[in-house]
Structure 1
């Protein structure tokens, strides 16, 4: 999750580039400044942390929070007043 400056045109451009990079890396947007990605191992988490670090714009705050697949499944979500179905651990894909 992040909070980036967007006052100047260059800051808005950098924030947009950062969000687009996250999408290109396979993250999905949970909220405008909160993106999520399932990782199947600590090694994969480290890899994505390094990729995010390489894409960081100047200024602002970026925080990476890790939680287990079981904790992910226990997220309770609402859309308006309607409770959404329980989340399931994302399928893992292997590319060869």
Structure 2
């Protein structure tokens, strides 16, 4: 299961830039990786785990701007065609994470 976060946040004022940077930092701190500048993604082992990270993202939503959260299966993610310039590259593989209780 993959969680993708798409966003378009205002950055005209210094305060808006700080809010946008804080939102991106929160995503990184929660284990998301930057796919494109305004698209972050994270692999989750289960729907329950995905729900935890979606809830954290919702708790950190900025007051202004647009944010979209989408879940896709590993199979759907694997069907993505990814290009760097005109060269096709393989999508990122999920990292193996160790959970300690």
TM-score norm. by structure 2 comes to: 0.87
Alignment RMSD (CA, Å): 1.2
Count matched residues: 95
Give 1:93's aligned residue: 97
Give 1:12's aligned residue: 17
Unaligned runs of 5+ in 2: 1-5
Secondary structure of 1:44 counterpart: helix
Q: Which one has more relative contact order, counting CA pairs under 8 Å at least 6 apart?
A: 2
Q: Map 1:1-96; keep pairs closer than 5 Å.
A: 1-85=6-90, 87=91, 89-96=93-100
Structure 1: 4+ residue segments shifted above 6 A: none
Structure with the higher fraction of residues in strand conformation:
2
TM-score norm. by structure 1 comes to: 0.91
